[in-house]
Each structure stands twice: as structure tokens, then as C-alpha cells.
A and B are shown apart, each in its own frame.
Chain A
Amino acid sequence: DVVMTQSPLSLPVTLGQPASISCRSSQSLVYSDGNTYLNWFQQRPGQSPRRLIYKVSNWDSGVPDRFSGSGSGTDFTLKISRVEAEDVGVYYCMQGTHWPPTFGGGTKVEIK
């Protein structure tokens, strides 16, 4: 199975400041159709996961544009341009290129 490694594990951030989460895969996530199936999820405390970004950099409906995804091959990043209080939670990357789909271990974003 493809191993997804996220860093950092915990990310204390000051409100209004940027935040960045890294996700690395053990294999290239470029699929034979040319797409890269790397998604990002947010899980607020006590809630279900919510997909924010799909195929590396595409926003899901209703996702604020302060969130952005980038990367290629095996290295990916989720950035929050200015952290707001509602962004507190755990963020997961997930690859859907290789079966079975696998998740990163999660990054906990908290306010300093």
C-alpha cells in the first residue's frame, strides 16, 4: 500500500497568519490518465471529515479560497493563507491513485 506521510503532526498558528502542511507519498501519485488523485480533508472537532481539495489543487464547493493545494509526483502541500478560528481541526491528505486508497496520519491545527 502507498504510505502517506504528513508533517508536522501538530501546527500551532496565530490567527491571521499562514499555515502549511506537507504530505509525501511513497510512490508517485500520477495515474495512467495523467491525473493526480491527491485530496485534502478537514475534520473539525466532533465532525465528519469534509473534503476541501481534490486532484491536488481543485476546490470543493463552498471551500474558502484561503485554502490552496499544490504539488506533484510525491510531494504535496496544503496552505491556509490566513488562519481563522474555524480552521481548527485535523487535516488529512489522501491518495486515490493506487488501490487501496490511503490516508496520511493527520496534522492537528490549533490556535496559539
Chain B
Amino acid sequence: GNSVTQMEGPVTLSEEAFLTINCTYTATGYPSLFWYVQYPGEGLQLLLKATKADDKGSNKGFEATYRKETTSFHLEKGSVQVSDSAVYFCALSDPTYNFNKFYFGSGTKLNVKP
């Protein structure tokens, strides 16, 4: 079946520190991979995506590379800001069927201190 595992939080960093949030997946087909971010009291916002192996998704300084050999899609940012404090969700969808059924990880809360 399809599933996503991501590192437990919370992750607490100082401003300008390097961020890595680990995400691994299990999939029966060839999934598309996503990172979504959720700010307090809000819904989910797409942060970045990758639709095939070796693709790199990037947005707002965040990056993640689709690694089929390690079934991973780790999120990285070189220098975090206080405004990056939020909960981050790794997710996959199986485009063989449709893009609108997602399997989410448990979420990782990021706290960035000034």
C-alpha cells in the first residue's frame, strides 16, 4: 500500500540555521511527492512538489529531491526564518488513479527562534 513516514517533531532551530525534515515513502506505483505547510488556524498550502524520480522541487528557499533508490523526499532549507515556523507535511499521490487522493505523513512542527 501507500504510506508516508516523516520525522517526529517538534524541531526547534535558531534563525539562519540549516533545516532538514526527513520523509520516506512506500508506494505501489510511481507516486508524485509533495510538501505542504500549515500555519496555525489555516489549511494546507503547497510548498513544493516532484512528479518523477530525480526531480527537485523548490520554492521560497526550500528544496526536496525525489530519490527513488532510497524512497525519500527530504525537505531542506539553508537558512530558516522565524516566519517559517509552521507544521510541514510530506505527502504522496498516485497519479495512476488521480491526483486528488493524498497519503500524508504525521507532520513535523518547526519552531524557529530569533
Real binding pair = no
B residues at A contact (CB < 8 Å): none
A residues at B contact (CB < 8 Å): none
